[in-house]
Amino acid sequence: MKLRGKPCQPFNSDTKVRVNLPDQTRFYYPDVMVVCRANPPHDHYQEQPVVIVEVMSPSTRRIDLTEKKDAYLCLPSLQVLLLVESDRPAVKMYHRNAFGKFECVDVEGLDAVIPLRAIEIDLPLAALYDRVEFTAEEPVD
């Protein structure tokens, strides 16, 4: 909704992203990505995302934090990578700084807000976790 009327568009996990590495090309299906310069409609992938979101689960956590993260951070267009915890309101945000290097910031609690400057929106964790019910053992700030 917040991207309506803006030049960027979201894609869900049905659209893959192509990552060209020095020794190979890989394709991944991020949970969400935002692209401001889309590939032609006949391509079944995107290769210039500015924001990528991966929701980590026990079965995907290892690959999300290693292989996928390392590949995504090689994308020249990428400005923000969000690795979202599924069991508590917490996000590991990798964002490109003024020097072009990625910095990692941990964002926690339902009151927190993630600034996505590349697409000119703020993402409240309360909205990200809307309708998610946490179990009693899990902290919810």
Question: What domains appear along the chain, each with residue ranges and CATH number?
Answer: 9-128 (3.90.1570.10)
Phi, psi (5° rounding) for residue 14?
-85, -10
| Average confidence (pLDDT) over 106-110 | 96
Band the pLDDT of 2: cuts 50, 70, 90: confident
Residue 116 bridge partners (DSSP): 121
Kindly tell me the sign of the dihedral angle through the C-alpha atoms of 96, 99, 104, 108. negative
**pTM of the model as a whole:** 0.91
- Please say if the pLDDT value at position 111 is more than 80: yes
Band the pLDDT of 141: cuts 50, 70, 90: low
- Please report where in the chains the tokens 């508590």 appear, as a residue: 88
Band the pLDDT of 139: cuts 50, 70, 90: low
Angle at alpha carbon of residue 77, lines to 76 and 80, rounded to 5°: 105
| Average confidence (pLDDT) over 88-108 | 96
